[in-house]
Structure 1
Amino acid sequence: MASLYIKDPETAAAVARVAKRLGTSKTQAVRDAIRRVEDDLDKATRRQNLHEWMREYRKKNPLPPPTGLKADKAFYDWLSGEEDVVDPVR
Protein backbone atom coordinates (compact mmCIF):
# COMPACT_ATOMS: atom_id res chain seq x y z
CA MET A 1 0.00 0.00 0.00
CA ALA A 2 1.39 3.38 -0.99
CA SER A 3 1.54 6.17 1.52
CA LEU A 4 1.44 9.90 1.12
CA TYR A 5 3.98 11.79 3.15
CA ILE A 6 3.46 15.53 3.20
CA LYS A 7 6.88 17.05 3.73
CA ASP A 8 5.70 20.61 4.18
CA PRO A 9 4.77 21.10 7.86
CA GLU A 10 2.32 23.91 7.11
CA THR A 11 0.40 21.78 4.62
CA ALA A 12 0.45 18.75 6.92
CA ALA A 13 -0.92 20.89 9.76
CA ALA A 14 -3.65 22.29 7.51
CA VAL A 15 -4.71 18.77 6.50
CA ALA A 16 -4.77 17.75 10.17
CA ARG A 17 -6.94 20.77 11.09
CA VAL A 18 -9.40 20.10 8.27
CA ALA A 19 -9.59 16.39 9.10
CA LYS A 20 -10.28 17.20 12.74
CA ARG A 21 -13.04 19.67 11.83
CA LEU A 22 -14.60 17.11 9.49
CA GLY A 23 -14.24 14.30 11.98
CA THR A 24 -12.34 12.15 9.50
CA SER A 25 -8.83 10.87 9.03
CA LYS A 26 -6.21 12.95 7.25
CA THR A 27 -6.25 10.39 4.46
CA GLN A 28 -10.01 10.80 4.02
CA ALA A 29 -9.72 14.60 4.05
CA VAL A 30 -7.09 14.50 1.31
CA ARG A 31 -9.09 11.91 -0.67
CA ASP A 32 -12.26 14.03 -0.52
CA ALA A 33 -10.39 17.19 -1.49
CA ILE A 34 -8.71 15.51 -4.46
CA ARG A 35 -12.04 14.06 -5.64
CA ARG A 36 -13.60 17.54 -5.52
CA VAL A 37 -10.70 18.96 -7.52
CA GLU A 38 -11.02 16.14 -10.07
CA ASP A 39 -14.77 16.73 -10.34
CA ASP A 40 -14.20 20.45 -10.90
CA LEU A 41 -11.61 19.71 -13.58
CA ASP A 42 -13.98 17.26 -15.26
CA LYS A 43 -16.77 19.85 -15.26
CA ALA A 44 -14.43 22.48 -16.69
CA THR A 45 -13.34 20.06 -19.41
CA ARG A 46 -16.95 19.22 -20.30
CA ARG A 47 -17.82 22.94 -20.36
CA GLN A 48 -14.82 23.65 -22.58
CA ASN A 49 -15.78 20.78 -24.89
CA LEU A 50 -19.31 22.15 -25.12
CA HIS A 51 -18.02 25.62 -26.00
CA GLU A 52 -15.70 24.14 -28.63
CA TRP A 53 -18.59 22.11 -30.05
CA MET A 54 -20.78 25.23 -30.24
CA ARG A 55 -18.02 27.19 -32.01
CA GLU A 56 -17.57 24.41 -34.55
CA TYR A 57 -21.34 24.06 -35.02
CA ARG A 58 -21.70 27.80 -35.65
CA LYS A 59 -18.85 27.69 -38.17
CA LYS A 60 -20.65 24.94 -40.07
CA ASN A 61 -24.17 26.35 -39.49
CA PRO A 62 -23.95 30.14 -39.27
CA LEU A 63 -26.93 32.24 -38.32
CA PRO A 64 -28.52 34.14 -41.20
CA PRO A 65 -27.44 37.76 -41.55
CA PRO A 66 -29.64 40.42 -39.95
CA THR A 67 -32.41 41.58 -42.27
CA GLY A 68 -32.55 45.11 -40.96
CA LEU A 69 -36.32 44.79 -40.63
CA LYS A 70 -37.99 45.93 -37.42
CA ALA A 71 -39.97 43.27 -35.53
CA ASP A 72 -43.65 43.92 -34.85
CA LYS A 73 -43.59 43.85 -31.04
CA ALA A 74 -47.38 43.85 -30.68
CA PHE A 75 -47.66 40.81 -32.94
CA TYR A 76 -45.03 38.84 -31.04
CA ASP A 77 -46.55 39.86 -27.69
CA TRP A 78 -49.88 38.54 -28.99
CA LEU A 79 -48.23 35.28 -30.11
CA SER A 80 -46.73 34.77 -26.67
CA GLY A 81 -50.15 35.14 -25.01
CA GLU A 82 -49.97 38.64 -23.60
CA GLU A 83 -53.59 39.25 -22.57
CA ASP A 84 -53.59 43.02 -22.57
CA VAL A 85 -52.51 43.23 -26.20
CA VAL A 86 -55.16 43.66 -28.87
CA ASP A 87 -55.08 41.00 -31.57
CA PRO A 88 -53.03 42.73 -34.30
CA VAL A 89 -54.42 40.44 -37.00
CA ARG A 90 -58.00 41.71 -36.55
Structure 2
Amino acid sequence: MPLYIRDPAVDSLLDQYLAATGQTNKTEAVRRALADQLKALAAKGSLAERVAKVQRQAAEAGFLHSGGSDPAADKKFMDDMWGEG
Protein backbone atom coordinates (compact mmCIF):
# COMPACT_ATOMS: atom_id res chain seq x y z
CA MET A 1 0.00 0.00 0.00
CA PRO A 2 1.61 3.31 -1.05
CA LEU A 3 2.03 6.22 1.33
CA TYR A 4 1.55 9.65 -0.16
CA ILE A 5 2.64 12.69 1.81
CA ARG A 6 0.60 15.66 0.66
CA ASP A 7 1.49 18.03 3.50
CA PRO A 8 4.56 20.15 2.61
CA ALA A 9 5.43 20.59 6.30
CA VAL A 10 5.52 16.81 6.82
CA ASP A 11 7.59 16.38 3.66
CA SER A 12 10.00 19.02 4.96
CA LEU A 13 10.29 17.19 8.30
CA LEU A 14 11.01 13.98 6.43
CA ASP A 15 13.72 15.72 4.39
CA GLN A 16 15.26 17.04 7.63
CA TYR A 17 15.16 13.54 9.12
CA LEU A 18 16.83 12.11 6.01
CA ALA A 19 19.58 14.73 6.21
CA ALA A 20 20.13 14.18 9.93
CA THR A 21 20.30 10.39 9.65
CA GLY A 22 22.08 10.13 6.32
CA GLN A 23 19.33 7.95 4.92
CA THR A 24 18.18 8.35 1.33
CA ASN A 25 15.07 6.18 1.16
CA LYS A 26 11.95 7.99 2.40
CA THR A 27 9.94 4.81 2.94
CA GLU A 28 12.70 3.26 5.03
CA ALA A 29 13.09 6.51 6.98
CA VAL A 30 9.38 6.60 7.84
CA ARG A 31 9.44 2.91 8.82
CA ARG A 32 12.48 3.41 11.04
CA ALA A 33 11.16 6.60 12.69
CA LEU A 34 7.82 4.96 13.48
CA ALA A 35 9.45 1.77 14.79
CA ASP A 36 11.82 3.81 16.98
CA GLN A 37 8.94 5.86 18.37
CA LEU A 38 6.89 2.74 19.15
CA LYS A 39 9.91 1.20 20.90
CA ALA A 40 10.39 4.38 22.98
CA LEU A 41 6.71 4.42 23.96
CA ALA A 42 6.81 0.76 24.99
CA ALA A 43 9.94 1.35 27.09
CA LYS A 44 8.32 4.34 28.78
CA GLY A 45 5.63 2.22 30.42
CA SER A 46 2.12 3.14 31.41
CA LEU A 47 1.25 6.08 33.65
CA ALA A 48 0.39 3.65 36.46
CA GLU A 49 3.82 2.00 36.14
CA ARG A 50 5.61 5.35 36.18
CA VAL A 51 3.64 6.56 39.22
CA ALA A 52 4.35 3.30 41.05
CA LYS A 53 8.06 3.74 40.32
CA VAL A 54 8.05 7.28 41.75
CA GLN A 55 6.15 6.05 44.80
CA ARG A 56 8.71 3.28 45.38
CA GLN A 57 11.58 5.75 45.05
CA ALA A 58 9.89 8.14 47.48
CA ALA A 59 9.33 5.34 49.99
CA GLU A 60 12.98 4.24 49.67
CA ALA A 61 14.05 7.84 50.31
CA GLY A 62 11.93 7.94 53.46
CA PHE A 63 8.94 9.86 52.16
CA LEU A 64 6.05 7.73 53.32
CA HIS A 65 2.37 8.58 53.08
CA SER A 66 0.88 8.73 56.57
CA GLY A 67 -2.44 7.36 55.35
CA GLY A 68 -4.37 10.52 56.09
CA SER A 69 -4.00 14.16 56.90
CA ASP A 70 -5.22 16.57 59.52
CA PRO A 71 -7.48 19.17 57.87
CA ALA A 72 -6.76 21.72 60.61
CA ALA A 73 -3.01 21.29 60.18
CA ASP A 74 -3.39 21.51 56.40
CA LYS A 75 -5.37 24.75 56.71
CA LYS A 76 -2.82 26.27 59.07
CA PHE A 77 0.00 25.27 56.72
CA MET A 78 -1.75 26.79 53.69
CA ASP A 79 -2.64 29.95 55.62
CA ASP A 80 0.99 30.30 56.71
CA MET A 81 2.19 29.75 53.14
CA TRP A 82 -0.12 32.52 51.89
CA GLY A 83 0.90 34.85 54.70
CA GLU A 84 -2.55 34.71 56.24
CA GLY A 85 -1.66 32.81 59.40
Instruction: State the TM-score bracket (shorter-chain normalisation).
Output: 0.3 to 0.5
More helix by share: 2
Answer with 1 or 2: which has the greater Rg: 1
TM-score by length of 2: 0.47
